[in-house]
Structure 1
Amino acid sequence: ELKTRRRGLEAWTELHAGFLGRAPDHVASCISGMYMGLDLFEAYDPARAKALADYYRYARDNDLYLTYVIINPQADRSKSAAEQQDPYLSTGIVDRDAEGITVRGAKMLATGGIMANEVFVTCIQPLPPGDEKYALSFAIPMNTKGLKILSRKSYEAGAPSVFDNPLSSRFDENDAVLYFDDVKVPWDRVFIVDSREMTGKQFHATPAHVYQNYQAQIRLSVKLKFLLGIAHRTAEVNGTMGFPQVRETLGQLAAEVAMIDAFVTAMEAKGSHYGRYFVPDRHTLYAAQTLAQQLYGKVLTTLRELAGGGMIMLPSSVQDFSNPELARLIGKTQQSPAASAEDKVKFYKMAWDAVGSEFASRHAQYEMFYAGASFVVKGHSFRTYDWAGATGLLDRMMGDYQLSDELAVAPGRAAE
């Protein structure tokens, strides 16, 4: 079933080549993973567990597109949320009554928020003592009264045409800071309140974090395959496929992209049961994320090296083709042994939107940090690796011999 699900996720991702980082299947995977750990919620608070179970079924049955905001806005990062100059810079509880809780403050980063039906709000960052009012977990519609959406600049709005910006014109999911201006959240939408411990457990003691990032690695594997296609086509268009150094570069890229794909398969092969659910292997996931963070920027740099100036020296817009004289000159100057002038321009417009445009730059930043800062991801890898198995193997190998045994067999050897 896990493999079948992966094939479904791959098919969805191929529709956008992995450029929708928070497509509907991502947060859906998170909520599904939390539901798998419903027993933990029941031990914490049966009423909150019922709220989560009911919400899972509601979101599933109504095919909701969910986004989430799970980190606090950047301010003075040397201080906790409670220690900030404004105690409600980060979203916290300001009131509660028989109907629910009232929250105030900001959260980020609502990727896809402008398109989502609802938002899941919580905190994935560890909360120190004193931050109890920020230890919450809930979900509400994006049109809830008092919820303000502060979106970044739209790259789609700056795209003159699909031909000129084939990715940003169609797949700019946008990102936003959400501000909760005394928003009322009914109790049947509240999953955690006042518990720093449970706020962390909802991700890491249930399959939620693994399940959502398993989806993310599937998405990334498709995206890297798309970028590998750009690399191969670049060599074809430039007539460099026969160059040994180019084939070497493509071979290296192919191996690295295949590595991420192999990690996904390994997550499934090494998976285990969490209750009645079969989930991907946790450490293999974190190993994949650790290496993927290092790989994405390297792939982009390699694509730039393969293309040279080809991705830059392009017609200013599709309108240039409507001018007969300019179209004639484009035909003379945009030549290739493998493509017409129009097809070469079309390809390099796509390549630039994936590698060098403002949209592409945002994606480079996204792939570096969507899973957390590198030290966080490496910390997950450190915590979940089988160190006992590794050191046990070392100890068994060293346990086969002793210094005293060596001296007893050859007592005169030391003197020699």
Structure 2
Amino acid sequence: MPKNGAAHLASLQDDRCVFIDGKRVENVTTDPAFRGAVASACALYDYQAAPENIETMTFASPKTGARVNKSWMMPTSHAELVARRVSIERWSAQTCGMLGRSPDHVASTFVGFRMGLDVFGANDPKRAAALADYFDYIRDNDMFLSYVIVNPQADKAKSASGQPDKNLVASIVDEDAEGVTIRGAKMLATSGILANEIMVSGFQALQQGDEDYAFTVAMPLATRGLKLLSRRSYEGAATSTFDYPLSARFDENDAVVVFDDVKVPWERVFVYRDLKMAQAQWHQTRAHVMQNYQSMIRLTQKLHFLLGLARKIADLNNIITYPQVREQLGLIAAKVANMDALVIAMEAKGEQFGQYFVPDRSLLCTAQVVAQTTYPEIVEAIRLLSGGGMIMVPSSHLDFAADETADIIARTQRSPVAGSHDRVKLMKLAWDAVGSEFGSRHLQYEMFYSGAQFVTRGNSFRFFDWDNAKTRVDDFMASYDLDVENKLNVAAE
């Protein structure tokens, strides 16, 4: 039987060290700051384990034969790539696309690493063997992983080794026959509190002198010396699910991860003090492609949800017949459809990477660029369609419980297509999606999780087929010249 919610819930009760609001959390599965998100993560595993979903959501591990999530599949054909995408879509739909770091995200990263095992092997066979064994372990146990690959923000003009505090950024400070010792910090550990294990690496460019920061390792969240300092919990601040339907369920959390001399055994070290491999692991394998392909699939599900929300707001306010409203909705509908098309196109134009079939990298980069402008445009459209409606709603669900305030709600919250209860319910959802702390965090997340715009646009430039584009111009220019022009003029005379 595939992993279910009960199994995941039990796996999180491991005495991990999490701090929030000045206190250590006793149990993340029951703490008011996290329990809703934990329940949502567990619901994903219950969904995959439901008998009617097993075939769509899981496949047989090639090593054990046990059913595990399809995000661990390394597709060898277009059909397998599409089947894998369908399972990601199904999971994403369960959370309205709001869990940016659902279990299939870092699983996709490791699938990309494993596809490029020869890249690791050519550099260091021992580290490649460690990666292969670890991949089998996390796949066959259907584990939920998070990662931290961004350095704490300090002096961004300096490299990791150039910071005033040498231990600000996580680095290797010692090693012995058993493994390496990590000291310092990384961020953002999105969904780290929901996960079983965490990968520690780096995506930012390194330079000579940064060797101690050039590593990739993995460890359980309950590892001794590993501490998570959580940001503010939007779930904890939610007064009810009715008032904050997204915050109360899908606040996946972000945290700074501190490593106080954490010992990592060699079998969990995949890149070791290697500046070249620290970058090659992302782009010479297909890790960057596979993890962001998952992100684009997840985002399309989220965009469809927000598009539906925008349409329902227009219906609620009886403005759907206004030409300018139809124009606005038509525009954002086209942008959402464009994202759908890009996902399908990157599959259709996919390529063989060794024995594996992977999405087209250039179109993936295109989708990332488009996504960074599409998401804020849809948020803005929801704001414009809502006007003051999503602000001027009752303070909380308790206003429905008191006769006097319930009467005021009934008289002032009106719509030609819905009662006062349904109007308030929709407007509170709209506010949580785009106006609350939760909504604001999601806007920031969608604009930056792939990197700043200069990064995504730089990748688009880097991986676009410029030779093909320039050849078209060269071929056409070769079809005419001064001599040809002169001959044409003579013939005309």
Q: How far is 1:409 from its partner?
A: 4.2
Q: Does 1:53 align with 2:132?
A: yes
In structure 2, what is the Cα distance between the partners aligned to 1:163 and 1:303?
A: 19
Q: Where does structure 1 lack aligned partners over 5 or more consecutive residues?
A: none
In structure 1, what is the Cα distance between the partners aligned to 2:235 and 2:302?
A: 19
In the other structure, the counterpart of 2:177 is: 98
In the other structure, the counterpart of 1:196 is: 275
In the other structure, the counterpart of 1:163 is: 242
Q: How far is 1:407 from its partner?
A: 2.8
Q: Choose from 331, 341, 354 the match for 1:252.
A: 331
| Contact persistence 2:189–2:254 (CA under 8 A) | yes
Deviations 1:27-74 (Å, cap 9, x if unpaired)?
Answer: 000011100111111111111111101111111111111000011111
Q: How far is 1:412 from its partner?
A: 12
In structure 2, what is the Cα distance between the partners aligned to 1:194 and 1:335?
A: 64
Q: Choose from 232, 238, 251 the match for 1:153.
A: 232
In the other structure, the counterpart of 2:45 is: none
Q: Choose from 443, 454, 471 the match for 1:364.
A: 443
Q: Secondary structure at the match of 1:273?
A: strand
Q: What one-letter code is carried by the residue in structure 2 that aligns with 1:381?
A: S
In structure 2, what is the Cα distance between the partners aligned to 1:9 and 1:411?
A: 66
In structure 1, what is the Cα distance between the partners aligned to 2:195 and 2:142?
A: 11
Aligned length: 414
Q: What one-letter code is carried by the residue in structure 1 that aligns with 2:358?
A: V
Q: Secondary structure at the match of 2:192?
A: coil
Q: Does 1:334 align with 2:413?
A: yes
Q: Choose from 256, 259, 274 the match for 2:353.
A: 274
In structure 2, what is the Cα distance between the partners aligned to 1:176 and 1:210?
A: 25
Q: How far is 1:230 from its partner?
A: 0.7
Structural mapping, 1:13-412, within 5 Å: 13-410=92-489
Deviations 1:128-172 (Å, cap 9, x if unpaired)?
Answer: 111111000010011111111111000000000000000000000
In structure 1, what is the Cα distance between the partners aligned to 2:454 and 2:386?
A: 32
Q: What one-letter code is carried by the residue in structure 2 that aligns with 1:63?
A: D
Q: Secondary structure at the match of 1:174?
A: coil
Q: How far is 1:125 from its partner?
A: 1.1
Deviations 1:286-330 (Å, cap 9, x if unpaired)?
Answer: 000001101111111111001111111100000000001111110
Q: Where does structure 2 lack aligned partners over 5 or more consecutive residues?
A: 1-79
Q: What one-letter code is carried by the residue in structure 1 that aligns with 2:394?
A: P
In structure 2, what is the Cα distance between the partners aligned to 1:252 and 1:374?
A: 22
Deviations 1:153-206 (Å, cap 9, x if unpaired)?
Answer: 000000000000000000001101111111100000000101111111111101
In structure 2, what is the Cα distance between the partners aligned to 1:209 and 1:80?
A: 22
In structure 1, what is the Cα distance between the partners aligned to 2:322 and 2:127?
A: 62
| Contact persistence 2:187–2:255 (CA under 8 A) | yes
In structure 2, what is the Cα distance between the partners aligned to 1:14 and 1:412?
A: 68
**RMSD across aligned positions (CA):** 1.3
Q: What one-letter code is carried by the residue in structure 2 that aligns with 1:46?
A: P
Deviations 1:204-237 (Å, cap 9, x if unpaired)?
Answer: 1011110000000000000000000011000110
In structure 2, what is the Cα distance between the partners aligned to 1:150 and 1:345?
A: 35
In structure 2, what is the Cα distance between the partners aligned to 1:188 and 1:29?
A: 20
In structure 2, what is the Cα distance between the partners aligned to 1:99 and 1:343?
A: 60
Q: What one-letter code is carried by the residue in structure 1 that aligns with 2:327?
A: E
Q: Secondary structure at the match of 1:157?
A: helix
Deviations 1:79-111 (Å, cap 9, x if unpaired)?
Answer: 111111011211111100000000111111100
In structure 2, what is the Cα distance between the partners aligned to 1:80 and 1:217?
A: 30
In the other structure, the counterpart of 2:19 is: none
In structure 2, what is the Cα distance between the partners aligned to 1:10 and 1:43?
A: 35
In structure 2, what is the Cα distance between the partners aligned to 1:333 and 1:250?
A: 27
Q: How far is 1:114 from its partner?
A: 1.1
Q: How far is 1:410 from its partner?
A: 3.0
In structure 1, what is the Cα distance between the partners aligned to 2:165 and 2:341?
A: 46
Q: Secondary structure at the match of 1:286?
A: helix
Q: What TM-score does the superposition give when structure 2 sets the normalisation length?
A: 0.83
Q: How far is 1:115 from its partner?
A: 1.2
Q: Where do 4+ consecutive residues of structure 1 move more than 2 Å? A: 407-413
| Contact persistence 2:175–2:181 (CA under 8 A) | yes
Q: What one-letter code is carried by the residue in structure 2 that aligns with 1:410?
A: N
Deviations 1:228-253 (Å, cap 9, x if unpaired)?
Answer: 00110001100111111111111111
In structure 2, what is the Cα distance between the partners aligned to 1:14 and 1:38?
A: 32
In structure 2, what is the Cα distance between the partners aligned to 1:292 and 1:103?
A: 35
| Contact persistence 2:332–2:377 (CA under 8 A) | no
